[in-house]
């Protein structure tokens, strides 16, 4: 276990300094680092100007340097210290401006005066810098030299995906984004956990479901992806997870689907209630990441968000304080293990039907205590309850919910019952 966490944490650390955005070389380089680990990941480029649903793929943004300099040549704001200093998607600028004009291009988070906020202006051309409120107070010169060495030009939007075939065309979709600059929990935790889950799925000797993994820029990326794969997604996706902010050590959170009734909701609630009972539930009204797009009318995928502490909720969110100290190997590994439980529950989530009429005689198969005394029944309660609700009406998650037994307690019982020909699987007949 420690191993998975350490591997994920180290990869996140090496990706941390890159200046990512929704397009450009920062995103490409980050995706390549994932592909270096799992070469099967496919990279795709979608040209600027491509119509995607109601949206248009924007110009590509790249940046080399940026700073604010005093007359004395002192760089008082310096992109090389942290790329959060630049307003995302800033157009190029190189001029002397008054303090007043500079201030009209400065973004701060006054209620968190020590931290640099993360701010972007994707869909309106602007230039700007982001600083802490306290740093802003030190800027007392009359004039400043502002330089942003960026380009905003026709290019393309990049994304990656990987489809791993299973027995069925039914798909489980996992999606995460890769477009934020130097932030740890609200950027790198999702991709590194998803990468580890790819390795887990690849390691399985047998898969019921086909698994689709998607790495995109947030919002415009999920719109683009859905626009270009709508028919197959609608036909095949049975459960869809958006992974983000999954690297800290705090409680788990889920963002429910539009009506909180999908298989995705059911499997998450089931796993979390038994194993992480302090988890938090947020309704679809509190969505904010790609579940907004995957779950929008017309797309209608059965999507939930999966977080530890949710974006918007933890104080370091979208600031320079969301750094590598906010996440941990244990935090990343916890999400990984939780999602492995989710995947196992889905793989076993059939409608089971007891093969005989009435309760089977477990005793003659050595599966029931031969002495009947007060309390002897407890040892086989999970088995007997599983069989009682294996009436074809409930899938495994439903049975688990009904009989208050975790799916991982039930899986070995199912295997034993199937070995004894006592359970049939409706879907496999």
- What minimum distance in Å lies between the beta carbon of 194 and its own copies? 22
Taking CB under 8 A as the criterion, which residues in 287-306 touch its own copies?
A: 288, 292-293, 295-300
Site for its own copies (CB under 8 A): how many residues? Answer: 62
Distance CA(62)–CA(48), nearest Å, equals 14
Residue 104 found at the interface with its own copies (CB under 8 A)? no
Residue 4 found at the interface with its own copies (CB under 8 A)? no
Task: Print the binding letters for residues 122-161 with its own copies: x by CB under 8 A, - otherwise.
Answer: xxx-x-----------------------------------
CB atoms within 10 A of CB 18: 19
Q: Which is nearer to its own copies, 55 or 274 (CB)?
A: 55
CB atoms within 10 A of CB 51: 9
Q: Which is nearer to its own copies, 150 or 186 (CB)?
A: 186
Q: Between 329-347 and 189-203, two packed helices, what is the crossing angle to 10 degrees?
A: 40
Q: Which is nearer to its own copies, 63 or 346 (CB)?
A: 63
Select from 119, 233, 326, 342 the one that contacts its own copies (CB under 8 A): 119
Distance CA(11)–CA(191), nearest Å, equals 10
Residue 346, SS3 per DSSP: helix
Residue 387 found at the interface with its own copies (CB under 8 A)? yes
Give the DSSP per-residue string, 267-323. HHHHHHHHH-TT-EEE-GGG--STHHHHTSTTT---EEEEESSPTTTSTTTTBTT-S
Q: Which residue has the tokens 């790819």?
A: 198
**Cα dihedral: 275, 280, 286, 291 (round 10):** -10
- What minimum distance in Å lies between the beta carbon of 86 and its own copies? 14
Q: How far is CA 56 from CA 51, 119, 303, 346, in A?
A: 5, 21, 24, 36
CB 329 within 8 A of CB 2: yes
Taking CB under 8 A as the criterion, which residues in 155-194 touch its own copies?
A: none
Burial class (CB in 10 A: 0-12, 13-18, 19+), 75: middle
Pairing of strands 171-177, 210-216: parallel
Q: Which residue has the tokens 């966490």?
A: 5
Taking CB under 8 A as the binding criterion, the range among 4-12, 32-40, 51-59, 76-84 that sits at the site for its own copies is: 51-59
Taking CB under 8 A as the binding criterion, the range among 131-139, 143-151, 178-186, 349-357 that sits at the site for its own copies is: 349-357
- What minimum distance in Å lies between the beta carbon of 227 and its own copies? 7
- What minimum distance in Å lies between the beta carbon of 404 and its own copies? 7
Taking CB under 8 A as the binding criterion, the range among 153-161, 184-192, 236-244, 396-404 that sits at the site for its own copies is: 396-404
- What minimum distance in Å lies between the beta carbon of 414 and its own copies? 15
Largest CA distance in the chain: 92
Taking CB under 8 A as the criterion, which residues in 270-289 touch its own copies?
A: 284-285, 288
Select from 1, 379, 388, 419 the one that contacts its own copies (CB under 8 A): 388
Select from 117, 181, 302, 329 the one that contacts its own copies (CB under 8 A): 117
User: Who contacts 231 (Cβ-Cβ below 8 Å, separation ≥6)?
Assistant: none
Residue 354 found at the interface with its own copies (CB under 8 A)? yes
Residue 226 found at the interface with its own copies (CB under 8 A)? yes
Select from 21, 109, 309, 383 the one that contacts its own copies (CB under 8 A): 109
Q: Report residue 85 CA to chain centroid gap.
A: 25
91 DSSP 8-state letter: P
Q: Residues interacting with its own copies, by CB under 8 A? A: 53-56, 88, 107, 109, 117-124, 126, 223, 226-227, 230, 258, 284-285, 288, 292-293, 295-300, 312, 317-318, 353-354, 356-361, 363-364, 370-374, 377, 384-385, 387-392, 402-404
């Amino acid at each position: 276990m420690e191993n998975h966490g350490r591997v994920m944490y180290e990869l996140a650390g090496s990706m941390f300094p890159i200046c990512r955005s929704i397009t450009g070389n920062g995103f490409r380089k980050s995706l390549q680092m994932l592909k270096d680990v799992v070469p099967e990941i496919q990279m795709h480029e979608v040209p600027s100007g491509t119509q995607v649903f109601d949206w248009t793929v924007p110009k590509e943004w790249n940046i080399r340097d940026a700073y604010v300099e005093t007359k004395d040549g002192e760089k008082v704001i310096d992109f090389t210290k942290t790329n959060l200093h630049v307003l995302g998607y800033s157009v190029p600028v190189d001029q002397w401006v008054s303090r007043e004009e500079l201030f009209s291009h400065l973004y701060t988070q006054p209620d968190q005066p020590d931290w640099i906020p993360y701010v972007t202006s994707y869909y309106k051309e602007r230039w700007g810098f982001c600083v802490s409120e306290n740093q802003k107070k030190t800027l007392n010169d009359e004039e400043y030299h502002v330089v942003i060495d960026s380009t905003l030009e026709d290019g393309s939007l990049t994304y990656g995906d990987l489809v791993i075939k299973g027995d069925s065309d039914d798909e489980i979709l996992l999606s995460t984004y890769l477009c934020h600059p130097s932030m740890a929990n609200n950027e790198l935790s999702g991709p590194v956990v998803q990468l580890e889950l790819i390795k887990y799925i690849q390691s399985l000797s047998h898969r019921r479901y086909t698994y689709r993994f998607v790495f995109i820029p947030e919002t415009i990326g999920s719109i683009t992806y859905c626009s270009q794969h709508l028919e197959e997604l609608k036909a095949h996706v049975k459960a869809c997870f958006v992974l983000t902010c999954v690297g800290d050590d705090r409680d788990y959170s889920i963002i429910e689907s539009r009506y909180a009734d999908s298989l995705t909701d059911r499997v998450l609630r089931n796993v979390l209630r038994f194993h992480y009972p302090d988890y938090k539930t947020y309704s679809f009204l509190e969505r904010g990441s790609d579940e907004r797009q995957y779950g929008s009318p017309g797309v209608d995928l059965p999507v939930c968000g999966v977080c530890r502490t949710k974006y918007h909720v933890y104080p370091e969110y979208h600031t320079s304080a969301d750094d590598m100290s906010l996440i941990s190997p244990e935090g990343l590994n916890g999400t990984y293990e939780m999602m492995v439980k989710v995947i196992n529950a889905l793989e076993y989530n059939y409608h089971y039907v007891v093969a005989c009429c009435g309760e089977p005689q477990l005793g003659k198969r050595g599966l029931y205590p031969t002495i009947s005394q007060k309390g002897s029944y407890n040892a086989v309660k999970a088995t007997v309850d599983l069989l009682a609700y294996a009436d074809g009406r409930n899938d495994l998650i439903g049975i688990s919910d009904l009989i208050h037994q975790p799916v991982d307690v039930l899986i070995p019982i199912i295997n034993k019952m199937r070995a004894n020909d006592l359970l049939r699987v409706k879907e496999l007949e």
